[in-house]
Structure 1
Amino acid sequence: MRTIHDIDTGTDMVWPEFLPGWVWLAGAGPGDPGLVTLHALSALKQADVVVYDALVDSRILGWVRTGVPTEYAGKRGGKPSPKQRDISLRLIELAREGKRVLRLKGGDPFVFGRGGEEALSLAEAGVPFRIIPGVTAGVGGLAYAGIPVTHRDVNQAVTFLTGHDQNGLAPSRIDWDAIAKGSPVIVMYMAVKHLDHIARRLMAAGRSPDEPVAVVCDASLPTQRVLETTLGEAADDVETEGITPPALICVGGVVPLRRVLDWQAGAPAPQDVFRALGRGSRDAG
């Protein structure tokens, strides 16, 4: 551990020391640099090399010390990307050179971020590592769209799933019937390409074609776009609107709360919207 004096608060802050030969796997959040954790910021300030993903905002890389190299190792579905094995081997190689290696990943490294695979490779190679969790897009990104993933009047469960398997195909090992029946709210990562297939599976398992859906593109960034639609129309609407990854898809009754909770809109919702959501004066006191 190392102690740094914070001149703003007048207190001593204790940070973990980034030792040579270590790899830190850190989450950079969904995009907005303000969502980077203090531990991730500390890592950026100490690292000797940064190996970063495609979805890490360039402004975050601006916090790296002058002269420290940054290496791109982003994987994007349907586009030429480094092989996962090569990325893991590169982390091991850099660590064995005695460098303090920061592996910076969008969102949280352990939520559909392949952080678990990289950590296993490091452990097998005998390379010491630390995990720094990040704000996952399925929570933080939706919050920037004014959508809470849970609300006690709507759901007591939420399911996070990926929209493709390791080969880029529609996921085949997901029990769609169980999810459709058991999860009031579904949050999908990387699902734009196979949205039509997924929506059909959910509706075949009993979900209503009229169920609310939100598609959040470039979540938490100045370029953020939000499409509100329904499960039956979602695939067609995404194509019509020209929405491309990265995008999050949320299915369920929390989506309409955006009419009130879209805090970036800059104005309070009119009272008739509250009434339409089943909220009334009973909630004011």
Structure 2
Amino acid sequence: MIGKVYLVGSGPGDPELLTIKAKRLIESAEVILYDQLPGKAILDMLPASAERIDVGKYAGDHKLSQWQINELLVKRAKEGKLVVRLKGGDPYLFGRGGEEAQVLVREGIEVEVVPGITSAIAVPAYAGIPITHRDYASMVTFITGHEDPTKEETGLDWELLARFEGTLVILMGVSMLESNVKELLKHGKSIDTPVAVIEKGTRPDQRVTVGTLADIVGLCKQRNVRAPAITVIGDVVKLHRELVKH
């Protein structure tokens, strides 16, 4: 019998934000392939009875390539196992879940997606930043901070993004922060545009760095900001000081 693969979103890191379904599947899984994004609190919940495989992609240290992860998912499923591919946030938002699902379907393996609370919304919320607000932003755009390095040209239209009057949320973009800021300024975004960079969002050691496009790069360097972090750009950032006690 061929097993089944669940692409499970673990949310932004707070274990209480796991969905009931995600928790049930984690507890019943025979094999769990995970990376670092779910965070220690959630990874500590993985059952000892399951085969636990770290497939995390750390800066400069990829334990397994994406094609190796795909092969492992296929192999374990064809062994008849109940497999959970555990991902931070939501599997289909910059999580490569769509690519993994395609591979599994082509191999004739049943796959089910379990959506997770995306960090693109939850992390700013925990930092007192609603990504939409009637007085500040009626639109929001999610941007990846790490495009496919094999692409010949960027898929991001920085001229359009600089003109965008809503909220910009950049995921996985710490290493590209300076470059992204330069692109926005080059294409006419105001230097006074508020920016927040939120590290380890929803976790006990969450940290928020607030500035503007003029000074956020310098502030992040001074504070030694590190991934995982999310960047929020737009007037909604002004609400941070009002909605979070300091």
Q: What's the TM-score once normalised by structure 1's chain length?
A: 0.82
Please point out which of 105, 114, 117 is paired with 1:132: 114
Please point out which of 133, 155, 165 is paired with 2:147: 165
Distance 2:102 2:165 in 1: 30
Please point out which of 63, 73, 79 is paired with 2:61: 79
- 1:149 equivalent in structure 2: 131
Report whether the alignment pairs 1:27 with 2:9: yes
Query: Once the two structures are superposed, what CA deviation does each residue of 1:73-111 show, in whole Å capped at 9, x if it has no partner?
Result: 112343334100000110010000000000000010101
Distance 1:235 1:170 in 2: 27
Whether the 8 Å CA contact 1:170–1:194 is kept in 2: the answer is no
Please point out which of 172, 180, 199 is paired with 1:217: 199
Aligned-pair CA distance for 1:207: 1.0
Please point out which of 12, 30, 41 is paired with 1:48: 30
Whether the 8 Å CA contact 2:13–2:39 is kept in 1: the answer is yes
Give the SS at the match of 2:61: coil
Instruction: Kindly name which structure, 1 or 2, has the bigger radius of gyration based on alpha carbons.
Output: 1
The code of the aligned residue for 1:95 comes to A
Q: Which runs of 5+ in 2 are unaligned?
A: none
Aligned-pair CA distance for 1:168: 8.8
Whether the 8 Å CA contact 1:163–1:171 is kept in 2: the answer is no
Moved more, 251-260 or 51-60: 51-60
Moved more, 125-134 or 50-59: 50-59
Aligned-pair CA distance for 1:171: 7.5
Distance 1:70 1:188 in 2: 30
Q: Which runs of 5+ in 1 are unaligned?
A: 1-18, 268-285
Report whether the alignment pairs 1:111 with 2:89: no
Give the SS at the match of 1:222: coil
The code of the aligned residue for 2:192 comes to D
Distance 2:234 2:63 in 1: 33
Distance 1:215 1:170 in 2: 28
Distance 1:187 1:30 in 2: 14
Query: Once the two structures are superposed, what CA deviation does each residue of 1:36-94 show, in whole Å capped at 9, x if it has no partner?
Result: 00110111122111111111223323444442221111123433341000001100100
C-alpha change, 1:234 and 1:184, in structure 2 (3 Å) is same
- 1:256 equivalent in structure 2: 238
Q: Which has the higher contact order (CA 8 A, sep 6+)?
A: 2
Please point out which of 99, 109, 118 is paired with 2:81: 99
Whether the 8 Å CA contact 1:177–1:205 is kept in 2: the answer is yes
State the identity as a percent: 39
- 1:234 equivalent in structure 2: 216
Aligned-pair CA distance for 1:115: 0.5
Give the SS at the match of 2:33: strand
Counting only pairs closer than 5 Å after superposition, residues 268-279 of structure 1 correspond to structure 2 as none
Aligned-pair CA distance for 1:20: 6.6
Distance 1:199 1:231 in 2: 6
- 2:156 equivalent in structure 1: 174
The code of the aligned residue for 1:249 comes to T
- Root-mean-square deviation (CA, aligned residues, Å) is 1.9
